[in-house]
Amino acid sequence: MTVSPPAASHYLRLDPRAKLYLLLLANLVMFFHVSTRAEAVLVALVIVPLLTAGRVRMGVRLAVTYAVLLAIGLWAGAAVMDGVGTAGGEQTWVHVVGALCVGLRMMLPCFITGAYAFSTTSVSEFVCALRRMRVPESVVIPCMVVIRFFPTIIGDYRRIRDAMALRGLATGRWSLLRHPAQSLEFVLVPLLMNATMVSRDLSVAALTKGLGTRGVHTSMTEIRMRWFDWVAMVVCTIPLALGIGGVL
C-alpha cells in the first residue's frame, strides 16, 4: 500500500503556485482599480477552478453574491444619475447602499481567490509550493507554525470563555463589546501564557524531528505545473491586462 498523492483525486485542482498567482491577480485588479467589466470577467474566470475543484456550493454562493452586489451597485449608480438635482433623504440612502455594495464587490475577487486557495490546498502542498519557489526555511517554518496554531487558539479561546463563564466574568451577551479592554485582558492573559508553553513543547518536538537540521528539506507531497495551470494563469491575466490597457 502506498499513500496516494492528493493530486490523484478525480477533481481537477490547480497547482498551489497557480492558486497563489490567481490571488495575486485579484489583488492587482483591486489595486489598479480596473473597470467593472474586466473585474466581472475575472470573477467569472476564477469561479471556474472553484467549481472544478468540487466546491460547487461555495462557487455558486460566491457567484450569486457577486452578481447581487454588482446589480445593486449598477442600480444605485443609475438611480443617482437619474435623480441629479432632486435632492432628498432617499437619495443619500441610495448613495450609502450603492457605495457599500461597490466596496464589497471590489473586495470579492480577492476573497474568492483566497477562499479557493485555502479551501483546496493542504498545508503540505502549500509548504511544498513555498519550498519549490525557493522561499527560505526561515519563512516556511513560521508559516507552518502559524497554521499549526490556528486550531490551538480556537480551542484555547473556547476553554477560556468557559472558564470566564464559570467565574462570572463578562458573561452577558454583549459584555465583550461593553467592556472590550477588560475582556481582552481576561482572554489574552491565559491565551498567551498557554501559547508560551505550547510553543516550548512544539519547539522541542520539532527539534527532535530534525526541523533545525541544515541541508535540504524535501516534501512528501509532489506538486507539478501542468498545462491547465499555465492556461488558467494566462487566461486570467487577460482581463487584467485589457483592463489596465483600457480596452475592457
* Encoded amino acid at 174, one letter: W
Nearer residue to another protein within complex by CB, 155 or 180: 155
Q: Does 113 help bind another protein (rule: CB under 8 A)? A: no
- Best CA proximity match to 164, nearest among 181, 176, 153: 176
Smallest distance, another protein to C-beta of residue 169, A: 6
Nearer residue to another protein within complex by CB, 91 or 199: 199
Nearer residue to another protein within complex by CB, 99 or 144: 144
Q: Does 222 help bind another protein (rule: CB under 8 A)? A: yes
Residue 109 CA neighbour count, 13 Å, CB half: 31
* 3-state class (DSSP) for residue 222: coil
Q: Does 210 help bind another protein (rule: CB under 8 A)? A: yes
Q: Does 165 help bind another protein (rule: CB under 8 A)? A: yes
Nearer residue to another protein within complex by CB, 219 or 237: 219
Return the residue of 97, 190, 242, 244 that touches another protein, per CB under 8 A. 190
Residues 46-65 that bind another protein (CB under 8 A): 57-58
Q: What gap in Å lies between CA 245 and CA 224, rounded to an integer?
A: 32
Contacts (Cβ under 8 Å, ≥6 apart) of 57: none
Q: Does 216 help bind another protein (rule: CB under 8 A)? A: yes
Nearer residue to another protein within complex by CB, 177 or 204: 204
Q: What gap in Å lies between CA 185 and CA 192, rounded to an integer?
A: 10
Return the residue of 8, 87, 181, 197 that touches another protein, per CB under 8 A. 197
- Best CA proximity match to 205, nearest among 144, 139, 132: 144
Return the residue of 98, 121, 229, 248 that touches another protein, per CB under 8 A. 121
Return the residue of 78, 217, 230, 247 that touches another protein, per CB under 8 A. 217
To which residue does cell 478525480 refer? 10
Residue 25 in contact with residue 243, Cβ under 8 Å?
no
Residues 62-101 that bind another protein (CB under 8 A): none
Residue 248 in contact with residue 242, Cβ under 8 Å?
yes
- The mark string for 134-163 relative to another protein (x by CB under 8 A, - otherwise) is ----------x--xx-xxx-xxx-xxx-xx
Q: How far is CA 125 from CA 20, 73, 151, 156, in A?
A: 12, 38, 19, 27
Nearest-5° Cα angle at 22, 19 to 27: 130
Which parts of this chain interact with another protein (CB under 8 A)?
1-3, 5-6, 57-58, 118-124, 144, 147-148, 150-152, 154-156, 158-160, 162-169, 171, 185-186, 189-190, 193-194, 197-198, 200-222
